[in-house]
Amino acid sequence: MKLFLIETGTFKLDGGAMFGVVPKVIWQKLITPDENNHLELAMRCLLIKGEDRLILIDSGIGNKHEDNFIKYYSPSNSNLLIDNIKKNGFSNQDITDVILTHLHFDHSGGAISLNNENIHVPTFPNATYWVSDVQWNAAVNPSIKEAPSFLKGNYLPLQQWNKLKLIHCTHSDVTFMPGLKLKFVHGHSPGMILPVIKSENQTFVYCTDLIPTVHHLSLSYILAYDIQPLQTIIERQTLIEEALLNHYVLIFEHDKDNDCVTLIKQKDGKIKTMPFLL
């Protein structure tokens, strides 16, 4: 299999929400906020080329948003999804599968586009879209806490166009195809998918919002968006321990400056990151 990082622009989220209960005086040393206390974050998707499948992991924020949404989240270059797929030699029609790790708007927004008649249509017309059944239920019937993160125009049309397939969420990994397994985690959002890819004797993990940036390797920085923060800590710690033991490459979806790293545990117990060139 061959992997391609697909940049889909940036957007902004509140710095306090990204670092939880940790005071600003500490986290602002890691990422400098703007005058509104917002952080600029990447939206990095992953394209996987197999023998007979071309799989896109997540789809960015999309470009069909209203003025109030744009004013708050400040998306930039949100048309890069298709452009950067093309730069790697493919078209939107070549995509056979889209795996949405979860249905928050910054991960699923590019799944659906508006056509010339202002109708919501699948961005990838020949693809099957995959979501965990637990996540689908959470998005269709959202809790009060999570409802602002789900925009139904990003995913309900998938069902209307008969493009949606649900993956049964289990306690074990699910083999999507040889070399690609799906783990399920629940701290950030119920039934979130962690894709685990084996390619050329190397294992890659697409960390989605379990570890959104390299700074979130620290268990102290827990997102205010997380549904079950204590579960996030357990799941993140488990992944970090597995990554250290098995020399995983971690792919960060939201880190502007760090896309792929490996981890090394130093003698003092601290974790050092090493950039990995994909």
Per the CB < 8 A criterion, the answer to whether 230 and 191 are in contact is no
Nearest by Cα to 190 from 246, 240, 149, 249: 149
Domain ranges of the chain: 2-275
pLDDT tens for 131-169 read: 999 999 999 999 999 999 999 999 999 999 999 999 999
Q: In the CATH scheme, what architecture does the domain 2-275 have?
A: 4-Layer Sandwich (3.60)
pLDDT tens for 178-218 read: 999 999 999 999 999 999 999 989 999 999 999 999 999 99
Q: What would you measure as the largest C-alpha separation in the chain, in angstroms?
A: 61
Per the listing, tokens 């306690």 go with 171
